[in-house]
Structure 1
C-alpha cells in the first residue's frame, strides 16, 4: 500500500519500534545546510506520536538538532518502508542509567508516510551484528531500552 500518510504511528509500526532496530536518522547539517544521514539502532516509540532516539551526546546529530529541529526517520518494517517526519529536541543531555554519554532525543511526529514504490514489498528486513563484546552489547542495549521506558 504505497503512499499511505498518517499523522501518527500505526499500530504495527508502533509495535516494531518497541525494540532496538536498524533505522536511518536524517538531520539538517548545521554547517552546510544539507542533509546528514546516520544509521542508528537505539530507537523506541514512547507512544503513537513520540519516538526516542539515543545518540552520543557529542555527535553531529545533537549539534544539528540544536540548530534545526526537522528530522526524518526511515524504518523498514512490515514489508514496506516508512518515512517518519518530525521535530526533534534533546530531552536529556545525558541519558540516565546508561554508562555511555548518550543524549536522549525526543522526536514529535508530524507525519508517517509509506514510501515504498508501487507494486513492491520488502521481503527481507535489514539485519546487523554487533561486532564488539556480545555480553557488553546486550547489557548496554538493555540499559538504553530501560532508560527509554523510564524517560
Structure 2
C-alpha cells in the first residue's frame, strides 16, 4: 500500500502549524551539495500552500536556500510523519520588530507525503522546552510569530 500524497497541507497539518511545533528542515548544503538537516520551531502555515519560518540570518539554512531553493520540512503530527517538499524563498533578510537578527523564509508547498512506515502510528509527538528564561522565551516567541504573520 502506498503512502498518501497531497498537493497541499491537509487540515490536521495546517492546524498543527498554527502553534509552535518541532520540525526539521532539510536543505542542500551550499558547499558540499550533501543533505543538511536542521531543527526549527518558529514555523507557521499562512495558508494550505505556504509555510513561513524564521531562522538566524547568518544560518547555513539561508546560504543553502539561496543556492538551492528546494527544501523539505519533516513534521510529526496527526499520528504520523509527513514530508512537506517545496520551493523556499528569502522574504526578508531581517525580520522587523524582533530583537534577534532573523531571516524570514517562505516555502511554497509542492507535495505533502505521509512517510510513516506501514502498519504503525505515532503514539506520542515530540515535545521540547526552552532552556532559558521562560518569560523571555515566551515574549520572544510571541514577537517572532507575530512578525512572521505580519510580514
TM-score by length of 2: 0.98
Distance in 2 of aligned mates of 1:49 and 1:148:
16
Any stretches of 5+ residues in structure 2 without a counterpart? none
| TM-score, normalised by the number of residues in structure 1 | 0.98
Question: Would the alpha carbon gap of residues 2 and 136 (structure 1) be closer, same or farther in structure 2, given more than 3 Å must change?
Answer: farther
Tell me if 1:43 matches 2:43. Answer: yes
User: How far apart in 1 are the matches of 2:75 and 2:83?
Assistant: 7
Equivalent residues in 2 for 1:54-69 (5 A)? 54-69=54-69
Return the alpha-carbon distance in structure 2 between the equivalents of residues 2 and 138 of structure 1: 41
**Number of residue pairs matched?**
151
Residues 53-110 of structure 1, C-alpha deviation per residue, up to 9 Å, x if partnerless? 1000000000000000010000000100000000111100011111100000000011
Name the SS of the counterpart of 2:137 in structure 1.
helix
Superposed CA RMSD in Å reads 1.0
Shift of 1:2: 6.4
Instruction: Give 1:65-144 correspondences, 5 Å limit.
Output: 65-144=65-144
Query: Where do 5+ consecutive residues of structure 1 fail to align?
Result: none
CA deviation after TM superposition for structure 1 residue 49, in Å: 0.3
Q: Could you say if the C-alpha distance between residues 143 and 2 of structure 1 is closer, same or farther in structure 2, counting changes exceeding 3 Å? A: farther
Matched residue of 1:149: which SS? Answer: helix
Give SS of 1:39's match. Answer: strand
**Distance in 2, Cα, partners of 1:91 & 1:40:** 17
Distance (Å, rounded) in 1 between the aligned partners of 2:94 and 2:2:
38
